[in-house]
Every structure is written in C-alpha cells, then in structure tokens.
Amino acid sequence: MDDATALLSAADRIEQLAGRTTPGDWRPAGLLASRPEVVAHRADGGAEHVAEARAGSGAWITAFSPALAGPLAELLRAAATRPAPDPAVVTLARALLARLP
C-alpha cells in the first residue's frame, strides 16, 4: 500500500470507529464494576487488565476520545495530498492501520 493510500485508509477507519463509539466529552468519573477485556502487555512480560489500571489508563482514554477523530482524519488526509508526506504522519497512519478494525 502506498503512503497516500495508507493515510486515507487510516483516516477512513478512524472516522468509522468514532462513529461506533460513545460520543461526547469523555471525562474520568466513577468506576464501573464491569470492564472490557483490554489487556496491556508490558515489555517485562507482565500483563494487566487496562480496566484494573484505571488510574493510569483513564487520562489516556479520555484524552483520545472520539472528539479527536475529525482533526486526526483531517491531518491524515492533508498529508495524503502532499507529494512527499511527512514520514512521521505516514508512520502514524501505518500504526493505526495495524490496530484499527
């Protein structure tokens, strides 16, 4: 996949994911008894449920709420129109493509 296609594909997938995600201004609040099966795999070989590490994960999750989908997709699409996209933005797009459904 060429760089422009990767950038545009990542932008599309971000918007699609944001469209399926709970909208709004995400902020940390009370803790729920239920949790998704999201596990953080650490470099030392350990693992921890992200929901059990809420104190450390909550700020990350709220910072990257669906509110970022539009601006991030715009950034990726703008980079795709350049003859030589910024390599850092291409790296970001490829990392997103590896993780986005």
Spans of all domains in the chain: 3-20+37-99
Name the pTM for this structure.
Answer: 0.73
Angle at the Cα of 93 from the Cα atoms of 38 and 43, rounded to 5 degrees: 40
User: Which amino acid does the sequence have at 10?
Assistant: A
Q: What is the pLDDT of residues 6-61, one digit of tens each?
A: 999 999 999 998 888 777 666 666 655 666 667 777 788 887 766 666 666 677 77
Q: Compute the distance between CA of residue 23 and CA of residue 17 in angstroms, rounded to an integer.
A: 11
Q: What is the pLDDT of residues 61-77, one digit of tens each?
A: 777 888 889 999 999 99
Q: Compute the distance between CA of residue 101 and CA of residue 99 in angstroms, rounded to an integer.
A: 7
